[in-house]
Amino acid sequence: MQRNKAKPDCVKLSAMSISSNILLVTLNARYMHTAFGLRYLQANMAELENQTKLIEFTIHELPINIAEQLLSHNPKVIGFSVYIWNVAEVTKTVAMLKQIAPEVKIILGGPEVSHYPDVPMVCELADYVISGPGEHAFPALCQQLLAGNSPEEKFIDGKALPLDELKLPYRYYTDEDIRNRLIYVEASRGCPFKCEFCLSALDKTAKAFSLEAFLNEMEALLNRGVRNFKFIDRTFNLKIATSVQILEFFLARMSDDLYLHFEVVPDHLPDKLKEVLKRFPAHSLQFEIGIQTFDREIQTRISRKQNNEKSKANIQWLRDNTGAHLHTDLIFGLPGDNLENFADSFDQLIALQPQEIQLGILKRLRGAPINRHNDDYALRYNPEAPYNILTTRDIDFTTMQRINRFARYWDMFGNSGRFSHSLPLILGDNPFQSFLALSDALYERSNSSWKIALKRQFELLYQILTEVLNYSEQTASEALMADFERTGLKGRPDFNQREEGEKSGKKGIANKRQRMHSHG
C-alpha cells in the first residue's frame, strides 16, 4: 500500500521547525497523489518564494495534528487547496485553526470553492476565498496581508494569466515524489467541450503551454528518473499536431518502464495519431476514455457531443492495433437515465472489451451546469461531499444502491483483471443483467461490497456461478481454478464451503491491474 511508504520530507516536521510566513497546504486523496496545483502556486510566488512552504497531508490524517504541525511554522498566512475529496477535512482543520490562532489569515482556493455563491461552509470560516487559478491572485493577496493591509473583498476573482507567463512547477517535485508518488504533468489547460456534469464545461476553451518549454521540463523529469507521466490535460487528442509531437518526444526516449497516461475523447483519432500510437510498445500507454453514456437523448440533454459510432470504432481500433490499457468511464444517474439505458450503455461498452470500465455515480459538482436539470428530473444529491446522487425522477434509492454495489463488485471482479477465465462465464450473452444478478446475490451472501478476502471471492463466485447462473460444478471450478492459480495464493478455495467467515488474513497479491490484464 502506498500509504505505508515513507512520507515526504515536507510532512515530517522536526520539533524545531523553521518559521515560514506563508504555508501552502492541502490534503490529498492518498499519499500517492501529489498536489500539482499547489506546486504551480509555489513556483509563482516570485519574491515571496523563500517565505513560502508547501505542506501536504492526506485526508486520513487527524485535523488536530494537521493544525499542530501547521502552527509549528508560525505562519501568518495559510492557503488551503480545497477539492471535493478534502472539503470535509479542510473544514475541520480550518475550524480548529480559527479557535487556536484566529490571527492567522486563512485563504482558500481550488475548484470546490471557486463557484460563489455555490460554495461550502468552510468559506464562512476563512478570511479570503480566491476563485479559479491562483498563480497571480494568491501572491498578490499575500503581499498585501504581509504589508499589514487587509482587502475588504472576501471573494476574489483569480484572473487567469496567459500560460506562457506562468513559471512551470516541475522542479517542485522532490526526489521523494519521483520515487513514490504520481507525477502529474499538463501540456494544456481547459476544455472546449461543455458536458454539463463536468467542471471543465465552464472553461471557455483549451489553451496550450509553450510546447518547447513543456518538453524541456519533461526532459528534465526523465533525467531525474520519472518514468510514469500522468497527463491531466482534459483532452489530450484535441490538437493532433501537438499530441503527435509529444508522443514522438516520448517514443524517442522509450524504455521498458516508461508509462504515459492520457485523457482522450473517443471520437477523435485521426490517422496521423493512429500512426504514432501503433509504434508504442505494449503496456506503455494508458488512455482514460470518457463514454459516460451511449444514450443520444441524454447526451444531448447534458450537452455532450459524442459520435457514438466513431467512438466505438476507435476503441475497437485501439484494442486491435495497440497494446494500450483502456480505462473507460460510464456514469449512472444522469438526467433521464434509468436502469434500462444504463444497461444498454454497459453492454455496448463491454462488447468493445476495454480492460477497465469505471462505473461512476453522478456527483453534483459545485458550479457544474447540470444543476439546471435538478427540478425537471428530480435530481436529489447527498448534501455532503462527494455529493453523489441518491434518487432521480427515474431511479429510486434502492436501485441507486444496487448500482453502487454493482460498481464496487465490478471493480473487484471486472476491473481487477483477476477473473479473466471466469468473467466470460459470468457475463454470458447478457452481461449487464447477469452481472446484476451476481451482484445482488453476492451482497445477499457476503453482506459487504467492500473488503472480501481474495480466497473468499473465489468461493462466493463458485456458489453464484453454480446456484444462480446455473453452471455445472465442473465448468465453474475449472474456470475459477484457472484464475486462482494466477493469484499466487497458497492452498485452494473451498468450493464446498457454505458458511460465512473464512478470512485468509493474507493481503491480495500485487493489485497492479495492468499486470493482471496483461497476463489475461
Select the span of 27-35, 62-70, 445-453, 511-519 touching ligand B12 (CB under 6 A).
27-35
Binding test (CB under 6 A) with ligand B12, winner from 20, 91, 93, 200: 200
Straight-line distance from the first to the last Cα atom of the chain, in angstroms, rounded to the nearest whole number: 23
Least Å distance, CB 263 to ligand SF4, is: 7
Binding test (CB under 6 A) with ligand SF4, winner from 193, 214, 409, 432: 193
Q: What share of the chain is helix, strand, coil (3-state, %, to 5)?
A: 40, 15, 45
Binding test (CB under 6 A) with ligand SF4, winner from 200, 286, 355, 416: 200
User: What is the Cα–Cα distance from 118 to 519, expressed in whole angstroms?
Assistant: 47
Q: Is the dihedral of CA 237, 240, 242, 243 positive or negative?
A: positive
Q: Select from 355, 348, 507 the least CA-distant residue to 417.
A: 355
Query: Which residue lies nearer to ligand SF4 by CB, 139 or 266?
Result: 266
Q: Is 8 in the site for ligand B12 (CB under 6 A)?
A: no
Mask: binding to ligand B12, 32-61, rule CB under 6 A, as x and -?
A: -x-xxxx-x---------------------
Q: Select from 140, 113, 111, 110 the least CA-distant residue to 124.
A: 113
User: What is the Cα–Cα distance from 110 to 126, expressed in whole angstroms?
Assistant: 14
Angle at 32 between CA 209 and CA 406, to 5 degrees: 100
**What part of residues 228-257 is at the interface with ligand B12 (CB under 6 A)?**
232, 234
Q: Which residue shows C-alpha cell 486563512?
A: 106
Least Å distance, CB 187 to ligand SF4, is: 14
**What part of residues 228-267 is at the interface with ligand SF4 (CB under 6 A)?**
234-235, 265
User: What is the Cα–Cα distance from 384 to 353, expressed in whole angstroms?
Assistant: 35
Q: Is 362 in the site for ligand SF4 (CB under 6 A)?
A: no
Mask: binding to ligand B12, 272-311, rule CB under 6 A, as x and -?
A: ----------------------------------------
3-state secondary structure of 303: coil
By the 8 A CB rule, do 381 and 389 touch?
A: yes
Residue type, 296: R
Indicate the pairing of strand 77-81 with strand 52-58: unpaired
**What part of residues 75-104 is at the interface with ligand B12 (CB under 6 A)?**
79-81, 83-85
Pick what 366 binds: ligand B12, ligand SF4, none; C-beta below 5 to 8 Å, kind-dependent.
ligand B12
Which residues here bind ligand SF4, judged by CB under 6 A?
Answer: 191, 193, 195, 198, 200-201, 234-235, 265, 290
- Tell me which residues touch ligand B12 (CB under 6 A): 28-29, 33, 35-38, 40, 79-81, 83-85, 107, 109-112, 130, 133-135, 138, 184, 186, 198-200, 232, 234, 360, 363, 365-366, 386
